[in-house]
């Protein structure tokens, strides 16, 4: 959460680079935004505004935006309400230092008290202001360089941070550091960029350095970049990598919203996800499994950890791994796992699923699992993010940047990779026959076309959405592989339309939620023609007999539901294990159109952020 950008380079270019960068990072938070610029004569100008980056732009354009050095921030509020005062950058009492921060300073109240005793006064309610005052205090009292003051201050800080600091009077230096929050440095020609991820940097340079945990960097005009370890001050190796992102990937490509674009690009993203992973004989080839055969052969249990939509993918992953690998599987919320004293040893495999690769709880869960000796495998989207860099091995879903805050294409990418992973492990352990693998991979190879076919439901779903836009509650029901699909459908609706929705295993409904059903509460029932179809029919009857409206997602050609449900949406028939990928498409569209009908901002729903880097 929160996005930071920084720039040191060409005359008066900082402001444009920073504003553009903030717009690309808005998915990380949009409660407020701010920018600090140092002009060539050393003046420090700070502009801040509550709300979106566009508000900041309007406000800042009335002031001084000159300078070749600057830092900027878009906020997802943790400490203190979203307003101008709590917006970053925060400036020290002396007016000398400005700082932006992504993360949480856990011991901020102790530090704040000590600083108050030294005569410091605070304007905001944020933990970040404490950090800039602490650096200022050390800088003045120890008469040391800014770099040394930052390092000293960070040694006193507990928590997570990615920070960037500039100093009044010095238009030639930018100091940055990170611990548990991401930071990327872009190395251009006579200019350097810093950002929470590669998106503000793409288009300027493709040379990047991923700052490692507990490292800080000093970026100075006409001097080589220096990276040191925060604790020892020892120089670190500078590892320049290629940024594999394009500007086109970050634009809406003719769609009204990123979410709709991302829903419609799923045929293409799953093509990318599958590329090179299925051999001509139908076998699955995943390098992460091939290179760690012993671990997968000797494993006695697999635990999947994730949050949110990725956790729903994990629930489906459990079914896939059980079915294809015949191995005990558990699924845990990362936030519960990390504090749940998990019993693990070197025969355990932990699979962490995360689109962003930066989710704080998932990152902490994998660090704990590795400490306990488990082999940790990552399933992530963002290349080079913290989770893939902190796992023993893994598989990228390769679905391209997901910018809409509600996850869509990442979910289907995660399900695709989990299917491949379960097949790869199953074939390695001899738990599944070649024919069984081929049956699934044949269908997987067709999945991009099957999704193209599925997307033809768009107009029907858009029409249906009009009937249900003003419902206050929804129930989503599914069984077996599609119980987690129901959870995901409900989450999509909740997060972008703010309608209360519950996902439930269809048969569990009669143990409580059935009491909620009346004519005002529609149910969306995921009922493809699978092994549990006959069972779910009776669950649909139970809803209908209480007067509830039913929208059923059924397999094409199955007309038996038409007499029972109020509305049927047909999806192509696929093997049972792949039905969640296909069934989630109409659910994404339904949530999308209901939110649009209600006039909601689907790409940036209230209170949410794309990358949850705080606990």
Provide the binding-site residues for ligand F6R, judged by CB under 6 A.
307-310, 354-356, 359, 362, 406-407, 491, 495, 612
Q: Tell me which residue has its CB nearest to ligand F6R.
A: 308
Neighbour-count burial of 374, counting CB atoms closer than 10 A to its CB (0-12 exposed, 13-18 middle, 19+ buried): buried
The residue (of 514 and 608) whose beta carbon lies closer to ligand F6R is: 608
CB 330 within 8 A of CB 304: yes
Smallest CA-to-CA distance from 144 within 175, 186, 105 is with: 175
Up-side HSE of residue 609: CA atoms within 13 Å toward CB? 25
Task: Show the tokens assigned to 580.
Answer: 């969640």
Any residues with CB less than 8 A from the CB of 119 and at least 6 apart, and which?
A: none
Closest approach, Cβ 377 to ligand F6R, in A, equals 15
Query: In this complex, which beta carbon is closest to ligand F6R, that of residue 138 or of residue 587?
Result: 587
Least distance (Å) between residue 134 CB and ligand F6R: 31
Least Cβ distance, residue 265 to ligand F6R (angstroms): 16
Please, which residue, 154 or 490, has the CB nearer to ligand F6R? Answer: 490
Closest CA to 394 of 349, 426, 428: 349
Minimum CB separation from ligand F6R for residue 421, in Å? 16
Q: Which two tokens stand for residue 243?
A: 């940024």
Sign of CA dihedral 100, 106, 109, 110: negative
Q: Work out whether strand 550-555 and strand 567-571 pair parallel, antiparallel, or are unpaired.
A: parallel
Least distance CB 174 / ligand F6R (angstroms):
28
DSSP bridge pairs for 34 = 48, 73
Angle at which helices 447-454 and 434-445 pack, to 10 degrees? 50
Active-site amino acid positions: 2, 610
Alpha carbons 539 and 508: distance in angstroms, whole number: 9
The order of strands in the sheet holding 301-306 is 329-333, 301-306, 348-354, 375-380, 393-396
Distance from C-alpha of 402 to C-alpha of 406, rounded to nearest angstrom: 9
Q: What is the Cα–Cα distance from 516 to 476, expressed in whole angstroms?
A: 13
CB-nearer residue toward ligand F6R: 45 or 310: 310
Pairing outcome for strands 473-478 and 523-527:
parallel
Nearer to ligand F6R, 299 or 352 (CB): 352
- Whose Cβ is closer to ligand F6R: residue 362's or residue 542's? 362
Minimum CB distance to ligand F6R, residue 313 (Å): 8
Number of Cβ within 10 Å of residue 188's Cβ equals 17
Least distance in angstroms from the C-beta of 25 to ligand F6R:
15
Cα–chain-centroid distance for residue 11?
35
Nearer to ligand F6R, 57 or 495 (CB): 495
């Amino acid at each position: 959460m929160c996005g930071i950008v920084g720039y040191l380079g060409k005359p008066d270019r900082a402001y444009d680079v920073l504003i553009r960068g903030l717009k690309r990072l808005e998915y990380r938070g949009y409660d407020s935004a701010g920018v600090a610029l140092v002009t060539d004569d050393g003046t420090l100008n700070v502009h801040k505004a509550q709300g979106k980056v566009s508000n900041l732009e309007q406000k800042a354009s009335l002031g001084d935006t000159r300078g070749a050095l600057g830092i900027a921030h878009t906020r997802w509020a943790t400490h203190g309400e979203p307003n101008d005062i709590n917006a970053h950058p925060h400036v020290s009492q002396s007016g000398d230092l400005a700082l932006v921060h992504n993360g949480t300073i856990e011991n901020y109240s102790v530090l704040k008290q000590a600083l108050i005793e030294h005569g410091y006064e605070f304007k905001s309610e944020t933990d970040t202001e404490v950090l800039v005052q602490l650096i200022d205090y050390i800088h003045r009292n120890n008469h040391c360089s800014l770099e040394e003051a930052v390092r000293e201050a960070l040694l006193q800080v507990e928590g997570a941070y990615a920070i960037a600091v500039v100093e009044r009077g010095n238009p030639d230096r930018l100091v940055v550091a990170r611990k548990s929050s991401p930071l990327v440095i872009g190395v251009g020609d006579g200019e350097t960029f810093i950002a929470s991820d590669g998106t503000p940097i793409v288009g300027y340079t493709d040379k990047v350095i991923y700052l490692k945990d507990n490292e800080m960097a000093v970026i100075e005009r006409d001097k080589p970049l220096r990276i040191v370890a925060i604790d020892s001050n020892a120089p670190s190796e500078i590892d320049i990598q290629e940024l594999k992102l394009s500007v086109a990937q970050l634009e809406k490509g003719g769609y009204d919203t990123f979410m709709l674009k991302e829903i419609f690009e799923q045929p293409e993203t799953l093509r990318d996800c599958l590329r090179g992973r299925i051999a001509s004989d139908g076998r699955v080839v995943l390098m992460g499994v091939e290179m760690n055969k012993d671990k997968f052969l000797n494993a006695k249990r697999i635990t999947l950890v994730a949050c949110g939509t990725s956790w729903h993918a994990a629930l489906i992953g459990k079914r896939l791994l059980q079915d294809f690998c015949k191995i005990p599987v558990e699924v845990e919320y990362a936030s519960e796992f990390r504090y749940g004293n998990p019993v693990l040893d070197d025969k355990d495999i932990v699979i962490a699923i995360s689109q962003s690769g930066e989710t704080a709880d998932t990152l902490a869960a994998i660090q704990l699992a590795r400490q306990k000796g488990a082999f940790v495998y990552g399933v992530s989207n963002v290349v080079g993010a913290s989770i893939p860099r902190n796992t023993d091995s893994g598989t990228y879903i390769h679905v391209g940047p997901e910018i809409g805050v509600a996850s869509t294409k990442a979910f289907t990418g995660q399900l695709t990779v989990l299917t491949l992973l379960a097949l790869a492990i199953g074939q390695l352990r001899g738990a599944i026959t070649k024919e069984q693998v081929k049956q699934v991979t044949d269908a997987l190879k067709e999945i991009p076309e099957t999704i193209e076919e599925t997307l033809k439901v768009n107009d029907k779903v858009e029409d249906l959405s009009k009937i249900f836009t003003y419902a206050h509650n929804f129930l989503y029901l599914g069984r077996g592989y599609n119980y987690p699909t129901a959870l995901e459908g409900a989450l999509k609706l909740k997060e972008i339309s703010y309608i209360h929705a519950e996902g439930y295993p269809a048969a569990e409904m009669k143990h409580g939620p059935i009491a909620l059903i009346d004519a005002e509460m529609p149910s969306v029932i995921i009922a493809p023609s699978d092994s549990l179809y006959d069972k779910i029919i009776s669950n649909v009857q139970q809803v209908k007999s209480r007067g509830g409206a039913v929208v059923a997602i059924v397999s094409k050609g199955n007309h038996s539901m038409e007499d029972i449900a109020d509305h049927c949406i047909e999806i192509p028939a696929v093997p049972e294990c792949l039905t969640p990928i296909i069934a989630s498409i109409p659910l994404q569209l339904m949530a999308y159109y209901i939110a649009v009908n209600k006039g909601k901002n689907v790409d940036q729903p209230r209170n949410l952020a794309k990358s949850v880097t705080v606990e």
